[in-house]
């Protein structure tokens, strides 16, 4: 299903290079299993694809009811409460969607223009809301929910609106939970032991994915197969190969890992991946900085830097082996563009040759690549891939001795924002920051 190819990595695919990482990897893996490592209270994601099966029926039922009643589904959330669903939906839905049902994400930034334009767009549409927030207090989704809850209530009345709002939040705590109880919304629970960026296999990801008409059972089955396969504690485990190689690059002084896709549908998988690794490893002044690019598009921009700039980065390249679609280059009588030599060649073949050529060029330019070959891009394979990355990220975090499950650094901007907005309780910080602004 997924293969790790180290041929274009700095040290080639020599297993000996990896072997010194085996014991540390086994130790890290064991501490996940024994729940003895850092952040052990957030390990609910580890065997989640298996445990969550019991919730699938009710998630599908709620999705079906909403699909009957609305044409547009607003998914309100930010960070881990948004990126997983966005990644899966963007990867699996058609590029040009002429279906009448539509998923729109909001609450993942604070753009007044976006919110106002969305309000206008929804004016004459039947819409439903899935508001997702584990803490229930995050500013961005709270603003969006306040606006669109009011719009829905104005459109169809408070009682009807209640039928079209689903809250995904903490089981007991938080403002959203309180509001949902008070208003009688249907709710789904984000388990205490699953952090935002590891929550794609909970209702956080599954309900929006089901609303998009994607088979969540296939998605979970891919993840469950990955969970079983990656129990293997040897260097034949693709997770071990990937984690060892990225840490070899890190130990050799690389500072940046870029996730590269040759299929634009993977753009948000990269965004999800960046949150997963960036928030998990970037702490205590450690960790690789994670970036991403879509090739061949970005070969015409960032490609210059990757080939020729500072030698601080390596790439992890996602190769979808079986194309989603393909066709041959059409013949043209005049051949003014000189493409007739390709009339027996398919577009995907050209894309694959572009990938191979780039891998070799970047290897020559001392920008090595780890290649991940995924058979195809469907719900099952995507579930497998996302679980592969979750496990890789946890093990990798343990290898550099950070807690891969907290995000203390995210609080700093929030504190300043609240202080600048003069939120009650932040009086001292307000004074300090206002002095700095003078």
List all residues 6 or more positions away from 350 whose beta carbon is below 8 Å from its beta carbon.
329, 342
Binding mask 272-291 for ligand PA5 (x = CB under 6 A): -------x------------
> Measured from the CB of residue 215, what is the shortest distance to ligand PA5 in angstroms?
25
Q: Which residue's CB atom is positioned nearest to ligand PA5?
A: 196
Q: Is 111 helix (H, G, I), strand (E, B) or coil?
A: coil
Among 130, 133, 202, 294, binds ligand PA5 (CB under 6 A): 133
- The residue among 138 and 241 lying less far from ligand PA5, judged by its C-beta, is 138
Contact 247, 116 (CB under 8 A): no
Distance between CA atoms of 337 and 343, rounded to whole angstroms?
12
Among 86, 134, 274, 381, binds ligand PA5 (CB under 6 A): 134
Residue 140: name the closest of 106, 189, 114 by CA: 106
Among 11, 31, 60, 135, binds ligand PA5 (CB under 6 A): 135
Please report whether residue 79 would count as binding ligand PA5 according to CB under 6 A: yes
- The residue among 142 and 317 lying less far from ligand PA5, judged by its C-beta, is 142
Please report whether residue 108 would count as binding ligand PA5 according to CB under 6 A: no
Distance between CA atoms of 142 and 127, rounded to whole angstroms?
18
Please report whether residue 195 would count as binding ligand PA5 according to CB under 6 A: yes
- The residue among 309 and 409 lying less far from ligand PA5, judged by its C-beta, is 409
How far does the chain reach from its first CA to its final CA, in angstroms?
58
Among 44, 80, 261, 383, binds ligand PA5 (CB under 6 A): 80
Site for ligand PA5 in 220-279 (CB under 6 A): 279
How far lies 226's CA from each of 3, 120, 142, 337, in Å? 12, 43, 35, 46
Distance between CA atoms of 310 and 331, rounded to whole angstroms?
42
DSSP designation for 232: -
User: Catalytic: 414?
Assistant: yes
Among 78, 89, 248, 374, binds ligand PA5 (CB under 6 A): 78
Distance between CA atoms of 354 and 375, rounded to whole angstroms?
19
Which residues here bind ligand PA5, judged by CB under 6 A?
Answer: 78-81, 133-135, 138, 141, 195-197, 279, 407
Question: What residues are labeled active site?
Answer: 279, 300, 414
């Amino acid at each position: 299903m997924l293969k790790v190819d180290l041929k274009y990595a700095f040290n080639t695919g020599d297993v000996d290079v990896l072997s010194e990482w085996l014991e540390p990897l086994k130790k890290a893996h064991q501490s996940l299993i024994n729940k003895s490592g850092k952040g052990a209270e957030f390990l609910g994601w580890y065997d989640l694809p298996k445990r969550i099966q019991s919730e699938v029926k009710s998630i599908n039922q709620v999705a079906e009811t909403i699909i009957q009643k609305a044409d547009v589904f607003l998914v309100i959330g930010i960070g881990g409460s948004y990126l997983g669903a966005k990644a899966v939906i963007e990867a699996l839905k058609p590029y040009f969607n002429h279906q009448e049902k539509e998923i729109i994400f909001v609450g993942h930034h604070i753009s007044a223009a976006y919110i106002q334009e969305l309000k206008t767009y929804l004016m004459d549409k039947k819409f439903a809301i899935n508001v997702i927030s584990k803490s229930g207090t995050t500013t961005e989704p709270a603003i969006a929910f306040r606006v669109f809850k009011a719009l829905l209530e104005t459109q169809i009345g408070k009682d009807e609106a209640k039928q079209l709002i689903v809250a995904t939040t903490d089981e007991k705590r938080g403002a959203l939970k309180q509001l949902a109880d008070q208003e009688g919304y249907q709710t789904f629970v984000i388990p205490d032991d699953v952090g935002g960026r590891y929550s794609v296999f909970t209702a956080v990801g599954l309900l929006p994915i089901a609303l998009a008409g994607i088979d969540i059972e296939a998605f979970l089955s891919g993840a469950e197969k990955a969970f079983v396969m990656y129990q293997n504690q040897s260097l034949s485990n693709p997770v071990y190969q990937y984690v060892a190689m990225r840490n070899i690059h890190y130990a050799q002084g690389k500072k940046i890992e870029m996730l590269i896709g040759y299929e634009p549908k993977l753009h948000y998988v990269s965004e999800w991946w960046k949150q997963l690794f960036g928030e998990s490893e970037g702490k205590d002044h450690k960790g690789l900085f994670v970036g991403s690019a879509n090739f061949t598009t970005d070969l015409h921009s960032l490609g210059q830097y990757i080939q020729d700039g500072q030698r601080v980065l390596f790439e992890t390249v996602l190769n979808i082996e079986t194309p989603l679609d393909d066709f041959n280059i059409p013949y043209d009588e005049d051949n003014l563009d000189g493409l007739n030599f390709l009339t027996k060649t398919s577009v995907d073949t050209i894309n694959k040759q572009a990938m191979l050529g780039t891998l070799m060029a970047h290897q020559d330019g001392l920008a090595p690549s780890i290649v991940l070959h995924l058979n195809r891009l469907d719900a099952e394979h995507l579930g497998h891939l996302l679980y592969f990355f979750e496990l890789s990220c946890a093990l990798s975090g343990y290898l550099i001795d950070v807690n891969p499950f907290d995000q203390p650094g995210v609080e700093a901007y929030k504190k300043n924002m609240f202080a600048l907005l003069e939120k009650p309780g932040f009086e001292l910080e307000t004074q300090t920051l206002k002095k700095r602004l003078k």
